Structure formats: C-alpha cells, structure tokens
C-alpha cells in the first residue's frame, strides 16, 4: 500500500526529496551546460528491391518479422564498431569526440552513448538523435555515423560481402592459373601426339590399326610356323621310326617318280635286252658271254648307284627343304612379334599421353565451370553491394539552431528525480522488508487463521480496538474452558520481546473482570520479569519444583494492575528442572483458581516450551508483528507441532495501524467515531445537568472520565485447608 509506506517513512521520503532535489539542482546550476540535439531518420522498407539474379522482390513473411527486423536495426545503430568507424571518418570534427589525451576506444564509447535511436510508431521510420555540448559538427557527425551504418547494413544484408569477394577473387586467380597450366600441358601433348583434339569419342589413335594388323600377321605367322614345325617333325628321323619310315616313303615315292632315273633305267633295260640277246646263244665259257655279262653288271651297278645317289640326295633335299621352311617361319614369327611389341610400346606411350590429355580436358571443363560460377558470384556481389536494400536514409541531420536543454531543464530534472526517489524509496523499503506485518501473512504461512490479531496498544488511538480484541481472546479461551475444561493456558512467542508477559497480565485482568479466578505462572527461566516478584530473591516456581517451599510461599497476591502470580525464581541454569513434578506441583492450583496462565520462553530459544506445550490444555504462539520473519514462524510452528499440544493457536501481536490503509485503520476510525459520539452525548447530558438543579461541580465529579478504564481485582480466594491441599 504506497500511501501507508509513505506515511510510515515520511521523514526518509522527505530527506531524499530534499537532498536529491537540492543537490541535483545545485550541480546543474554550477555546470550550466547547454545541450544541442540533431535528428535524422532512416527508412526501413518492408520489401527488398529486385535483385539481379532473380526477378522478384524479397519481403518479410509477417508483420512480426518486420518489427523484429526494425528492432534489430535500432539496436545495431548504436554498435561500437559503427561508432569507431564513424569516428575515423569524421575528419576535422573528430576532435569534438576525441580531444587530446583521450584514446580512440574512449572516444568511440562516448560517441556510442550519445547516439539514441528508436522506432517511430505507426511508420516505417527509425529516428536517430545525437546530442552534444556544442552545435558545430553535430549534424556532420550524425550524418557520417548513419552513412557508416548504412554501409555496414548493406554488407550485412550480403553477409561478409568484402571477405566473400576477397575469397572469390583469390579462388578466381587460383582457378585461372590452374586452367592455364593444364591448357599448356594439353597443347604439348597434342603436339607430341600429332593430334588436334582430345575427345573420348574420336578415333585419334593411329596405333590401333597397326596393332590390329600386326596381331593378324603374327597370328598367321604363328600358324605357318606351327605348320612348318609339324611338316619338319613328320620327316625328322630324330623323332622316331615313324618319322624315318615316313621320310623313306616320301623319298621312295620321289625316287620312283624321278624321270631321269626312269629314263636311265629305260636305256639300261634296252641295252640289257640287247646284251641278253647277244648271250642268249652263247655258252658260259664263251668269251663274248663273259664280256656281255660284265657289261650287264656294269649297267646294273650304274642303275643302283644312280638310284642310291638319287635317294640320298632326295632325302637330304626334302629334310633341308622342311628345315628351311621352319627357319623361315620362325624368323617371320620373331620379326612380327618384335614389331608387335615395339608397336605396343609406342601405343602404350600414346595411350598414356592421350589419356592424360583427356583428363586435362575434363579438368579444364570442370575448372571453367567453377570459374564461370565464381565470376557470376563476383559480379552479383559487386553489383548488389551498391543496390538499394531494406534500409535507406530518409532525411539527413541539419545543424541545430538552439539548445534543447540548459541549467533550468537540468534543475527541473533533478527536482523531479528527487520527488520520484522520495516516493519510490519508502515503497521499496517496505517491499524488501520480509518481516511479518499482517495477520493475513500468518494465515498464508501456516494454513489457518490466527485466533486473534492484537493492535499495538502503545498507540493511544488503538486502545479501544485493542481492548475489544483482548476481550474477544478472553471470551474464546473461556468458551474453551467451559466446553473442554481447558484451564491451563500457556503462551509462548517466536522471538523474545514479542510481549508475552504483557499479554498474560492483560489477559489475567480480562479473566478477572469476567469473574474468573486466575493466576499467572512465570515459566520463563531465560529472562525473568520483575513484575512477577514481590521482593528481590523471592522464592518461585523453580524452588517449588525443587521442593524447597510450598505453594503458599510462592504465590504473590494481586497488587494494583497485577494479578495473583508465581515468579520463576532464581534460574541459574536458564531452564526449568524436574519436568515430571509439574502436574503434582501445579495442578493443586486448579482447586483455588479457574485459569492458570503459563508465561513460557520463546519456543526457538528454550526446550521448556515444548514440554509445557504438552502439559498445557491450550498452547498459544505469539507472533510479534514487524519483528518476526516467515522462516522463524514456520520453524516455531513445526517445533510445537512435534510437541503435539491439545489445542494450538496463533496470536498476532502489536500490529501497526497506518491511517488510510486496510481493515484495521477503518476499524480504528469507526471506534474513534463511536467514542467521539459517546463523548458528545455525555457532554450534552452534563450540560443538561449543569443547567438543572444539581450543581455542575457535583455532576462533573460524579461522571467518570471518558475513555478511561479502572481495573479492580477481586479479592484473593482463600487458601484451601491443609488436608485438602
């Protein structure tokens, strides 16, 4: 509630307002700095102009994409790299942002901070403003800045176009050099092979026909060689009797068919016939017979010698003829094989060079394809880098004629800042304060509502509401006593100083006013309260538990606003002894009193409280507003939950009420109005009494003071007989 925070911390708010406003205004007046401002606008087109590569316009797919692009450009305008490049291009105006002794980095940051860009609502424009302490050079700076920004934006539309162009040109040079080297090598191979072109489909190999012809001739020679070898082997006597018989048969046939031998035989046979005719009538002893017989033998010998010579010559001639034919076939086969091998070697060399030429042709074709693509991309990037894109300068910055702010404006800003800080600081202080301030916070933390929420009774305006709340708590506990016999009521707190003792004493008075006999027992050995004592070093609860005194010796009778009570006694160990003696020691009090109120220490500080929670009929946890943290309350509730009391409740104490805020402020206001009405009525009655027969002094003395309560304790109940005790 802002108004509550401001009223609660009004002095802090006033201090901040005065300090910031006074200090800022004084500083603004002392500086007396004038501020000039120039502005330019950038047009963000929703469509990209037609590109050279394709005849179509690029456009955003949705309005959100366009707005995102605009927001991106707004953020890009203030980039450091753009400010640095703009600073380098300012020329003579660079000293405005980089005086002597200032580094380039600091100057670029200064220029970057001075640039302010924002999208103009419901337009396609981005407004870019630049402010500075002097008018000269301000417009030139902003125009240079925007020129650099547009150049960078164009390069980013074609992302890293400079680097890409450099890489493409390097690749272009590499491909060109590689193509030249391969073309030169292919020309050398073409000249070497005496061909005009390298084509896989062309019949450019002259060795193919030579190899084919040589192969055919070699095959024929090999067949002739095989035939000659077979013919020789048939007549070769070295191959065995069969070959010798074949040779003899062939020789015999040739000899038999020899015309000379047959002619010789014919003449010899004719002479032989003549000689036989001559000797046919001669006796064996006849000398002519012997001469004729010798001639006949000579003729037979001549025929035999001739036939034998002819046979030998024919045999030799036939073998030599077959051997010569075999040698000729072998020579031809060897010559053809040698020629084929040499031709194959030349063909292999030709084929290797030709295949190399074919590979070079394919490589050149691939390189030219890549080179065409690289050249096309270079042309596209070179031309499109200068083409209009999404961004263009709509209006340039003009030199400023007068300043937009001076000392007065800065003083007004300082005063406004002081007012805003003075309003915000109290609210922020309350927002950062985690302490429990309302009963609703306790309800949210524990999951159940407090039994009662008590206002801070120290504030005079809260006394009526606080009294009514205390009365309501007493009635709730009285109802619990009547219905369930809850006579032993223990009160503890989350933190020390939450007002447990004050509440017990007030509650005891409320019980007494309701006609109940009540006694307050101090069970807090951590921090005893002097109000329980009747005299220094008086015996108390600890002495009673130790058996050193009896019950009558420790009961302090009611006195003034204090009820009957039992102090804790001298607590040297800061805790209570003999837990098992509590029931037999304190239960006899129920014969004298209707209610026993136990004042226990904070549950987070003492283990006595956990035992007393089991002993008591009702356990009440007191939460001090404005001093208890949520974690502390939850830890205290968990400890009491483990103790498992019969009845457990939470009381929020010392709630602050701030005018103009919440339910309790309205309640207090209504009680004040009721009290004021009662006072007016009482005053009217007193006025009537004064105007009547009775003296005014008597009437005034008889009337009670309005709004004042007089506490009166009933007479202390008598002690029971000793036997009954």
* 583-616 pLDDT, tens digit each: 888 889 888 999 999 999 998 888 888 888 888 9
Specify the pLDDT at position 723: 33
Residue 720 lies in a domain: no
The two structure tokens encoding residue 470: 């205390």
Residues 372 and 399 in one domain: no
Higher pLDDT, 5 or 212: 212
Separation between Cα atoms, residue 261 and residue 120, nearest integer Å: 138
Q: What is the DSSP letter of 436?
A: -
Residues 606 and 575 in one domain: yes
Specify the pLDDT at position 686: 81
Separation between Cα atoms, residue 249 and residue 129, nearest integer Å: 130
Strands (E), 34-80: 36-44, 47-48, 58-59
Residues 553 and 652 in one domain: yes
HEC sequence for 406-420: CHHHHHHHHHHHHHH
Neighbours of 713 (CB within 10 A): 18
Nearest Cα to Cα of residue 512 among 470, 569, 567: 470
Nearest Cα to Cα of residue 332 among 469, 222, 414: 222
128 φ, ψ (degrees, to nearest 5): -120, 120
Average pLDDT over residues 502-508: 90
Specify the pLDDT at position 709: 34
Contacts of residue 473, Cβ cutoff 8 Å, sequence gap at least 6: 451, 452, 454, 507, 510, 651
Q: Break the chain down into helix, strand, coil percent, rounded to 5.
A: 60, 10, 30
Residue with tokens 């429990």: 436
38 φ, ψ (degrees, to nearest 5): -125, 155
Residues 282 and 358 in one domain: yes
Least confident residue range of 179-193, 547-561, 655-669: 655-669
Radius of gyration for the alpha carbons in the chain, expressed in angstroms and rounded: 68
Specify the pLDDT at position 410: 67
Residue with tokens 């004040």: 672
Q: b/e map of 431-467 (b: 16 or more CB within 10 Å)?
A: eeeeebbbbebbeebbeeebbbbbbebeeebbbbbbb
Beta bridge partners of residue 556, listed in sequence order: 565
Separation between Cα atoms, residue 38 and residue 144, nearest integer Å: 13
Least confident residue range of 20-34, 198-212, 215-229: 198-212
Whether residue 414 is predicted with pLDDT greater than 80 in this model: the reply is no
> CA 204, 206, 210: angle at the middle one, nearest 5?
150
Q: pLDDT class for 283, splitting at 50, 70, 90?
A: low
Q: For the sheet containing 518-522, what is the strand order?
A: 452-455, 647-655, 618-624, 488-493, 595-599, 518-522, 564-566
Residues 228 and 373 in one domain: yes
Specify the pLDDT at position 405: 64
* Residues 469-494: tens digit of each pLDDT: 888 888 888 888 889 888 999 999 99
Whether residue 394 is predicted with pLDDT greater than 90 in this model: the reply is no
Least confident residue range of 265-269, 626-630, 703-707: 703-707
Contacts of residue 462, Cβ cutoff 8 Å, sequence gap at least 6: 455, 456, 657, 668
For the domain that residue 99 is a member of, what is the CATH number?
3.30.1890.10
Residues 122 and 254 in one domain: no
Average pLDDT over residues 17-22: 78
Q: Which domain holds residue 465?
A: 439-677
Strands (E), 166-228: none
Specify the pLDDT at position 220: 85
* Residues 516-541: tens digit of each pLDDT: 999 999 888 888 888 888 888 888 88
Residue 289 lies in a domain: yes
Specify the pLDDT at position 64: 83
Residue 650 lies in a domain: yes
Higher pLDDT, 382 or 653: 653
What percentage of residues in the chain have a pLDDT greater than 70?
Answer: 78
Q: pLDDT class for 707, splitting at 50, 70, 90?
A: very low
Mean pLDDT across the chain? 78
For the domain that residue 483 is a member of, what is the CATH number?
3.40.50.300
Higher pLDDT, 323 or 605: 605
Specify the pLDDT at position 430: 67
Neighbours of 577 (CB within 10 A): 13
Residue 23 lies in a domain: no
Residues 215 and 338 in one domain: yes
Residues 497 and 362 in one domain: no
Separation between Cα atoms, residue 412 and residue 414, nearest integer Å: 5
Check: CB of residue 329 under 8 Å from CB of residue 228.
Answer: yes
136 φ, ψ (degrees, to nearest 5): -65, 130
Residues 214 and 343 in one domain: yes
pTM comes to 0.44
Contacts of residue 403, Cβ cutoff 8 Å, sequence gap at least 6: 34, 35, 36, 135
Whether residue 695 is predicted with pLDDT greater than 70 in this model: the reply is no
The two structure tokens encoding residue 523: 């069970």
Specify the pLDDT at position 485: 87
Separation between Cα atoms, residue 619 and residue 489, nearest integer Å: 6
Residue 687 lies in a domain: no
Separation between Cα atoms, residue 361 and residue 201, nearest integer Å: 13
686 sits in the region (left: phi over 0; alpha: psi -120 to 50; else beta) called alpha
Contacts of residue 50, Cβ cutoff 8 Å, sequence gap at least 6: 56, 57
Residues 494 and 390 in one domain: no
> CA 194, 200, 204: angle at the middle one, nearest 5?
30
Contacts of residue 212, Cβ cutoff 8 Å, sequence gap at least 6: none
The two structure tokens encoding residue 271: 């002479």
Residue with tokens 């509650």: 507
Q: pLDDT class for 724, splitting at 50, 70, 90?
A: very low
99 sits in the region (left: phi over 0; alpha: psi -120 to 50; else beta) called beta
Residues 374 and 390 in one domain: no
* Residues 235-263: tens digit of each pLDDT: 777 777 887 777 777 777 777 777 776 67
Specify the pLDDT at position 658: 65
Q: What is the DSSP letter of 395?
A: E
The two structure tokens encoding residue 396: 């340039």
Residue 370 lies in a domain: yes
Beta bridge partners of residue 492, listed in sequence order: 621
Separation between Cα atoms, residue 589 and residue 610, nearest integer Å: 21
Average pLDDT over residues 308-335: 81
Number of domains making up the chain: 3
Q: At what angle do helices 630-643 and 608-615 cross, to 10 degrees?
A: 50
Among 660, 677, 694, the domain boundary falls at 677
Residue 214 lies in a domain: yes
CA atoms within 13 A on the CB side of 599: 30
Nearest Cα to Cα of residue 144 among 179, 95, 94, 192: 94
Q: What is the DSSP letter of 715?
A: P
Specify the pLDDT at position 597: 93
Specify the pLDDT at position 461: 65
Whether residue 379 is predicted with pLDDT greater than 80 in this model: the reply is no
What percentage of residues in the chain have a pLDDT greater than 90?
Answer: 6
H or E element: which one contains 111?
helix 104-114
Whether residue 660 is predicted with pLDDT greater than 60 in this model: the reply is no
Specify the pLDDT at position 698: 43
The two structure tokens encoding residue 285: 């002893």
Neighbours of 633 (CB within 10 A): 21
Separation between Cα atoms, residue 361 and residue 355, nearest integer Å: 10
CA distances from 165 to 51, 94, 168, 383 (A): 18, 31, 5, 11
Specify the pLDDT at position 601: 92
Average pLDDT over residues 212-224: 80
Specify the pLDDT at position 383: 60
Higher pLDDT, 26 or 93: 93
Check: CB of residue 148 under 8 Å from CB of residue 135.
Answer: no
Beta bridge partners of residue 452, listed in sequence order: 651
Q: b/e map of 9-33 (b: 16 or more CB within 10 Å)?
A: beeebeebbeebbeebbeebeeeee
First to last CA, the chain: 58
3-state DSSP assignment of residue 257: coil
Residue 238 lies in a domain: yes
> CA 628, 630, 636: angle at the middle one, nearest 5?
80
Residues 322 and 261 in one domain: yes
């Amino acid at each position: 509630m802002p108004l509550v925070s401001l009223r609660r911390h009004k002095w802090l708010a006033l201090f901040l307002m005065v300090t910031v406003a006074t200090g800022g205004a004084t500083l603004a007046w002392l500086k007396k700095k004038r501020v000039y401002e120039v502005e330019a606008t950038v047009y963000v087109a929703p469509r990209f102009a037609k590109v050279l590569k394709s005849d179509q316009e690029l456009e955003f797919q949705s309005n959100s994409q366009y707005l995102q692009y605009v927001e991106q450009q707004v953020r890009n305008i203030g980039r450091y790299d753009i400010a640095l490049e703009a600073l380098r291009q300012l020329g003579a105006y660079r000293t405005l942002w980089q005086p002597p002794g200032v580094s380039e980095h600091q100057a670029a940051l200064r220029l970057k901070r001075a640039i302010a860009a924002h999208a103009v609502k419901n337009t396609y424009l981005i407004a870019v403003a630049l402010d500075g302490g002097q008018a000269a050079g301000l417009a030139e700076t902003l125009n240079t800045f925007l020129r650099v920004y547009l150049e960078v934006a164009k390069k980013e539309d074609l992302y890293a176009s400079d680097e890409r162009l450099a890489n493409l040109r390097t690749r272009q040079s590499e491909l060109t050099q590689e193509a030249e080297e391969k073309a030169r090598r292919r020309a050398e191979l073409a000249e070497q092979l005496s061909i005009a072109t390298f084509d896989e489909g062309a019949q450019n190999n002259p060795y193919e026909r030579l190899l084919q012809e040589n192969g055919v001739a070699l095959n024929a020679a090999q067949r002739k060689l095989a035939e000659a070898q077979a013919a020789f082997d048939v007549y070769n006597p070295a191959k065995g009797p069969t070959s010798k018989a074949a040779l003899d048969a062939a020789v015999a046939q040739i000899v038999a068919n020899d015309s000379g031998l047959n002619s010789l035989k014919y003449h010899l046979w004719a002479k032989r016939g003549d000689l036989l005719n001559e000797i046919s009538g001669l006796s064996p002893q006849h000398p002519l017979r012997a001469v004729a017989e010798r001639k006949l033998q000579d003729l037979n010998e001549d025929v035999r010698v001739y036939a034998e010579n002819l046979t030998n010559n024919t045999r030799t001639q036939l073998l030599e003829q077959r051997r010569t034919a075999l040698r000729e076939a072998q020579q031809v086969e060897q010559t053809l094989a040698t020629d084929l091998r040499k031709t194959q070697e030349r063909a292999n060399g030709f084929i290797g060079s030709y295949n190399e030429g074919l590979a070079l042709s394919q490589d050149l074709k691939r390189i030219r394809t890549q080179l065409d693509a690289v050249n096309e991309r270079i042309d596209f990037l070179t031309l499109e880098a200068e083409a209009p894109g999404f961004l263009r300068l709509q209006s340039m910055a003009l030199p400023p004629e007068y300043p937009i702010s001076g000392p007065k404006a800065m003083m007004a800003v300082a005063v406004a800042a002081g007012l805003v800080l003075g309003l915000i600081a109290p609210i922020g202080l309350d927002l950062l304060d985690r302490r429990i301030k309302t009963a609703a916070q306790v309800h949210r933390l524990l999951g159940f509502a407090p039994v009662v929420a008590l206002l801070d009774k120290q504030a005079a305006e809260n006394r009526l509401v606080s009294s009514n709340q205390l009365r309501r708590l007493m009635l709730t506990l009285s109802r619990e006593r009547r219905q369930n016999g809850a006579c032993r009521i223990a009160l503890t707190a989350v933190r020390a100083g939450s007002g447990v003792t004050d509440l017990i004493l007030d509650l005891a008075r409320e019980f007494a006013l309701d006609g109940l006999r009540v006694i307050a027992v101090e069970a807090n050995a951590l921090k005893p309260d002097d109000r329980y004592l009747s005299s220094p070093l008086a015996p108390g609860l600890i002495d009673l538990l130790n058996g050193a005194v009896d019950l009558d010796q420790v009961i302090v009778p009611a006195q003034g606003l204090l009820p009957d009570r039992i102090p804790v006694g001298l607590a040297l160990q800061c805790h209570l002894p003999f837990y098992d003696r509590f029931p037999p020691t304190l239960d006899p009090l129920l014969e004298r009193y209707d209610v026993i109120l136990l004042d226990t220490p904070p549950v987070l500080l003492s283990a006595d409280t956990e035992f007393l929670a089991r002993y008591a009929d009702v356990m009440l946890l007191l939460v001090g507003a404005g001093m208890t943290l949520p974690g502390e309350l939850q830890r205290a509730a968990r400890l009491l939950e483990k103790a498992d009391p019969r009845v457990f409740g939470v009381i929020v104490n010392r709630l602050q009420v701030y005018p103009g805020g919440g339910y309790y402020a309205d309640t207090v206001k209504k009680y004040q109005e009721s009290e004021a009405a009662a006072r007016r009525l009482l005053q009217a009655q007193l006025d009537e009494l004064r105007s009547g027969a009775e003296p005014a002094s008597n009437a005034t003395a008889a009337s009670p003071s309005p709004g004042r309560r007089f506490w009166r304790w009933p007479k202390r109940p008598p002690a029971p007989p000793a036997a009954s005790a």
